[in-house]
């Protein structure tokens, strides 16, 4: 195969983490090396990172490193994809560090579009996505459901703006990786997600590339074990919401809205049935709550998108109405004629649950940073310029 003349002074390092992959290692790495040699316009290095394999993978990796000019092999004595990526990325002399799964499920033609925005300085992180328009995916319904549910959870619970956290096809500017790595705690499959959440938290630009992706039916990933580990990682990262400036702002707006809601509920309850009084009080305060959160919690300025925000905020209103009114209806069905104090206690408890749901919807959908008509706070991080990451350890 003819060699494509590389651009001098630009080096991309592609890490292929492996554990007991003797079956596909030689064919996959040879294919990757030949493809990059023939089409990639930059200097490259393929690093096979062996995670304590026991099936002959390491011997094959060393053989490939001896035979192919742009391939090297490193071995770690402990398992963990995140551990392997950390080990190589941390000490890399490349301009951009990347990784892809050894099964090459992702079409290689997406690799140049993946790294080009990083080499140009346009973006800081780039990911392949199987969940956006333009992607072509062949996989079973079980994996499809798990993937979409996981990414929806990240969006709603943590406000993630990227569409696909799990695609094994990512790249990072080396200086960004080296700045973020000390704060990434996970050493296994959640490593990617945690890195992306940190990057987004600090205002770094994440570029997404729709990819062609074909599921490997002989994948060695333990889906259940990986899913549980990812959920633990989400819960750990979710605790950082308590340190998010949006939380106290939302709590203050919510407290004032709750007081207003309860006051209206008590006042309207003098002339209306409890369920009707609650619905009307919730409707009035929901409009004010959405407007206040728009301005003070999420920093959205101007009239652009205001109507849409109110309409989408109405979805959260309907959920809150269903929770609180349903609770009141259930109370009256179980204990007819409850006292006003009991009704008030039920409304408070139901409103607390509705408030949590409302915050997740506002953060992950209505005022999501990736949507239009969203002004950025002046104090938010910038994507350009030197990368500075301080006190980012997510515990």
Neighbour tally for 369: CB within 10 Å: 15
- Tokens representing 118 are 């990083």
Q: Which residues is 80 bridged to in the sheet?
A: none
Q: Hey, what long-range contacts does 304-313 have (CB within 8 A, 24 or more apart)?
A: 304/372, 304/373, 305/372, 305/373, 305/374, 308/373, 309/366, 309/367, 309/373, 312/361, 312/365, 312/366, 313/286, 313/287, 313/289, 313/362, 313/366
Mapped to the 3 state alphabet, what secondary structure does 50-70 carry? EECCCCCHHHHHHHHHHHCCC
Q: Output 369-372 pairs: Cβ under 8 A, ≥24 positions apart.
A: 369/159, 369/161, 370/161, 372/304, 372/305
Does residue 28 sit in helix, strand or coil? Answer: helix
Alpha helices in the chain (DSSP H): 25-39, 57-67, 81-90, 111-119, 141-158, 174-180, 191-201, 223-238, 246-268, 274-292, 306-334, 340-361
How far, in Å, CA of 291 to CA of 308, rounded? 11
Q: Which of 101, 103, 192, 230 is catalytic?
A: 192
Place of tokens 């407007």: 291
Alpha helices, H only, 185-245: 191-201, 223-238
Chain centroid to Cα 356, Å, comes to 20
Query: By CB neighbour count within 10 A (0-12 exposed, 13-18 middle, 19+ buried), where does 62 fall?
Result: middle
Contact partners, residue 225, CB within 8 Å, separation at least 6:
none
What residues have CB less than 8 Å from 112, skipping those under 6 apart? 39, 40, 41
Taking a C-beta distance cutoff of 8 angstroms, is the pair 47, 72 a contact?
yes
Report yes or no: 17 and 99 within 8 Å, Cβ to Cβ. Answer: yes
Cα–Cα distance between 346 and 181 in angstroms, integer?
46
Active-site residue flag, 95: no
Task: Just list the catalytic residues.
Answer: 192
């Amino acid at each position: 195969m003819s060699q494509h003349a590389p651009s001098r002074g630009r080096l991309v390092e592609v890490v292929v983490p492996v554990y007991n992959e003797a079956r596909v290692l030689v064919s996959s790495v040879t294919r990757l090396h030949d493809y990059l040699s023939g089409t990639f316009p930059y200097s490259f290095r393929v690093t096979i990172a062996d995670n304590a394999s026991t099936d002959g993978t390491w011997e094959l990796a060393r053989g490939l490193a001896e035979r192919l000019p742009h391939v090297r092999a490193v071995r770690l004595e402990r398992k963990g994809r995140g551990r392997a990526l950390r080990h190589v990325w941390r000490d890399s002399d490349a301009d951009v560090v990347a990784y892809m799964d050894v099964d090459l499920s992702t079409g290689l033609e997406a690799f140049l579009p993946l790294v080009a925005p990083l080499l140009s300085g346009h973006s800081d992180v780039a990911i392949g996505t199987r969940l956006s328009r333009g992607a072509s995916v062949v996989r079973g319904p079980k994996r499809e459901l798990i993937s979409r549910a996981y990414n929806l959870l990240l969006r709603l619970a943590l406000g993630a703006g990227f569409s696909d956290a799990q695609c094994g096809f990512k790249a990072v500017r080396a200086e960004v990786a080296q700045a973020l790595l000390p704060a990434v705690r996970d050493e296994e499959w959640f490593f990617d997600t945690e890195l992306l959440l940190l990057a987004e938290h600090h205002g770094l630009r994440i570029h997404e590339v729709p990819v062609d992706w074909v599921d490997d039916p002989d994948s060695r990933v333990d889906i259940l074990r990986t899913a549980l580990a990812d959920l633990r990682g989400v819960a750990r990262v979710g605790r950082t919401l308590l340190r998010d400036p949006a939380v106290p702002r939302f709590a203050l707006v919510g407290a004032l809205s709750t007081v207003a809601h309860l006051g209206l509920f008590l006042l309207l309850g003098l002339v209306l049935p409890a369920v009707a009084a609650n619905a009307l009080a919730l409707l009035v305060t929901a409009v004010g709550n959405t407007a206040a959160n728009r301005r003070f919690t999420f920093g959205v300025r101007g009239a652009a998108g205001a109507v849409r925000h109110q309409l989408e905020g109405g979805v959260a209103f309907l959920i809150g109405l269903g929770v609180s009114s349903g609770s009141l209806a259930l109370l009256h069905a179980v204990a007819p004629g409850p006292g006003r104090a009991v009704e008030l206690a039920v409304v408070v408890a139901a409103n607390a649950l509705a408030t949590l749901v409302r915050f997740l919807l506002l953060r992950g959908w209505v005022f999501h940073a990736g949507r239009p008509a969203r002004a950025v706070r002046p104090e938010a991080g910038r994507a350009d310029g030197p990368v500075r990451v301080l006190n980012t350890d997510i515990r």
